[in-house]
Every structure is written in C-alpha cells, then in structure tokens.
Amino acid sequence: MKLQRFDVPGLSHYSYLLESAGAAAVIDPKRDVDSYIETAAAHDVNIVAVFETHIHADYASGALELARTVGADLFVSGHDAGETFECRFPHRDVRDGDEVTIGQVRLRALYTPGHTPEHVSFLLYDTIRNPREPLAMFSGDFIFVGSLGRPDLLGEDAKRRLASELYDSAHTRIAALPDGLEIYPAHGAGSMCGAGMSDRPQSTLGYERRSSLLLAPQDKERFIDTVLTHVPPFPPYYRRMKRVNSEGPKMIGVPGNRALTPAEFRELREGVVIDVRRPEAFGGAHIPASYNIGSGPNLPVWASWIVPYDRPVLLVGDDSTNYDEARRALIRVGLDDVRGWLKAGMRAWIEAGFDQAHVRQMSVGELAAELENDPFVLDVRGDAEWASGHIAGARHIMGGELPDRLDEIPRDRTIHVTCGGGYRSSVAASVLRVAGYRDVVNVVGGMEAWKRSSLPIERVGEGVGV
C-alpha cells in the first residue's frame, strides 16, 4: 500500500492518492485532476474509485471530472437526502458502515456530521495485516490537526444544531477508535474551514485527544459555545461553492491559456482583469479597473473573495508569470472562464498607446508624517492582527469583506490602505479603484515596516505606545 498527499498552498487543501495491488483511489480531489492521472500512470496503477467526504464550500471539487475521465466509481455521502445541499449528479451513495475494497485495502464510511450534515469520514483497513482494526482515517473537514471543522456553513438557523452534531461525532461516534489511528485531514493551517489548525499535515487520534481543546472531555453546551466563538471569517463565496459542488462542477480540463495582443485583449474588456504582478509594478502602471492579486499561493484565496463570478477573466503578468499555474489557481475556486493573458504584459499595452492607471505608493515614514493631518487609514488585516497593534485612528475592515462594505469608506478623502506587508493592501486598493475611488494610496511594507520603524501603535483596549 502507498499513500501520496497532494497539497494546494493558499487554499491549504490536502487530497490523497491511495494505491494497493494495482488499483488506486483518490479522496477529496482538487479541481485540476491531471496530476492524479499522471501519477497513477507513472506508478502503473488504475484509479478505480473517487471518494468525497462532504460537499465542499472552499474549493471546486474535481471528483466528478476525475471519475468521468478515468471511468472510476464516484462515492459520495448518502446522508445528504433532504438537506439544504444534495449531490445532484450521478454517483454511488455511501452511508455509515458501507465498505469499498481497493486492491488489498478497504475503506469503511463513518458518519461524522457537524461541519456539514452529510459529512462522512473513511476508515482505512489493511485486509492482509490487520483486517479488524483501522489503520487510518481520511477525516475530510471533521478532524483537522489541532482543530475541528466549523459548523456554521449553513447559517444562523442551523449552526447550533450542527455544532451539537459535531460534538456527538467528536465525543461519541469515534469513541471506540484506537489512539494509534492516523488522521489524514482535507486541510491544514491557513484554511478557513476551521480555527486554530496546526501546520503539521497529519496526526494520530490519540495525540489529538490529548492536545485538542475540542476533543477534551466537556459538556455539550460548553463545546458548542467554544466552537462557535472561534469560527474564522465567513467568505461569501462559500455559499456559491456549496451550490456548484452539489450540482456538479462542469467538465473543465486544463487547456493552455491564449496569449492575446493588446488589441485582442482590449476587445475582450467586458471581462474581469486580474493583474498578478507585484504591488509596486501594479502601482506604477496597470490597465484601468484591474484587480491586483499577486500570483502565488494567495491568488485563489483573494480571487474567491473579491472577483465577480459572472464575467470572463483576463490575466496580466510579466515575464516571470506562470499563466498555467494562475489559471489552475482560479479554476480551483470556480473561476472557470479564463479567456487568456496579455502577451508581453504592460509593456506591450503601454507601447500600444492604450489608457493606463496608477496607484500611488507611500512609505510608512511618509504616512507617519501625515498623522497630524488626521488621514483616513484603512487597515485590511485580520482581526487578530488588528488587535495585536494598529495605527491610532485607523478604520479596520478585513480585506475580503471590503466589496460588501464600501459604504463605510468616504469618497471625498484620500484612502491610505495598509495591511501586514503590502500584498493585501494592494488588493484592497485595487478593489477601491474598481469601485470608483479616485484617491487611493498603498502603504508600502504595511504594519511590519511600521513596527520595524518603531512608530506608535495602538492595541485593542490599550492606549498608544511604541
């Protein structure tokens, strides 16, 4: 038996390819499925089964496409009947206790609701060495390393009921499982599917029982209050992604992007333009009404928060941009309609004489000198970062929430945008520019540079200090 984990940075998503005796299964696959197919071919095994632990909210699933492409059986929880989200595409239901054999191993479904009403985990048994005791559990979004899945995805009316189910799953349904059981979750640190996850990719059930606050012995009401108090921010795109994954994402493949001349690019300007260059390059010159979301692990996260889903996407980069990776990042969060990228980047656009826009960049020293004039400072970091220290008088709106809270930002003042290091503030500055704000400044280096310069900060509940 062999097990390979596939990581998607940014989304902090883990999926798994399990091999045994020439057969293979994939658990919770990402949207771009070619890597599983290529790995199986390299190992001379056939993918015969695809498993989903639940209807995902944070990424577009590749389960349907993978199963159809390779002719594998697709196994999905049958506990979704009558729930808000049901799988509406062809699949094979698995319910609590159902088993599927893959080569010389078998996977047994264990009903573990709480994160979602239909959630199942899969227990792995070695049929040769020890067919009676499970070796591992593919826990999906039920148990993470250091945490449990958030139970609030279906809204206020359902969250306490789901938190109660999560308690039963964590304290009753897995009570008889051995401490040595290996835990393979669907996410790691950085995912918003749960709070306080460790950056270790796997654990054992015994270690989690001894170290996780939520698995410690406690009454149900205390557990419910604790888990609901610490849920991360709720990305609005989660609702859309649940619907996409319940209906079945369309077959997409990963065809190559098309290089567009500046004239061709301009003809397609009804699309959303995502500029994946660094903030300083974007600030120097960019196509008007572009979003600046730098390439790399954070691209799918911020694109999912701020980019409209009902328009085609066009990309702008530079000579170092990997457009294949950029497109993969976008389709993983359901931004499927990527039409192409600007050939030769902004240099070609400028040489063609087309309109360009700019975002002024300001150092922390320059902003500090402006404090006596009471500038409008917008801090787009997360809650914990804000609480750890911020500029006195700044307004705090987490960057992903900005498109829905523009009415809190004045249009008759200069908006100085800051974050941790400059990436998110450039994203937010581009959101403001797309929304029609004319006087926007990106604070280079953000609060990291501010603190390194020993400039005054204010903490929640405290006064100003250094």
By annotation, the residues acting in catalysis are 419
- The total of other beta-carbon atoms located within 10 Å of residue 149's CB is 30
* Cα gap 52→68, rounded to integer Å: 14
45 and 18 in contact (C-beta within 8 Å)?
A: no
Q: For tokens 């600046």, name the residue.
A: 292
Least Cα distance to 10 among 302, 328, 297 occurs for: 297
Report d(CA 314, CA 276) in Å as an integer: 10
3-state helix, strand, coil in the chain (%, to 5): 30, 25, 45
Residues in the chain: 466
CA dist 155 → 159, 245, 269, 333 (Å): 6, 18, 36, 21
Angstrom distance (rounded) from CA 312 to CA 325: 17
Gap between the Cα atoms of 88 and 249, Å rounded: 11
Q: Work out the angle at residue 22's Cα, subtended by the Cα atoms of residues 17 and 26, and round it to the nearest 5 degrees.
A: 20
Residue with tokens 């449990």: 148
Can you spell out the DSSP letters for 368-411?
A: HHHGGG--EEEE-S-HHHHHH-B-TT-EE--GGGGGG-GGGS-S
CA atoms within a 13 Å half-sphere pointing along the CA-CB vector of 3: 16
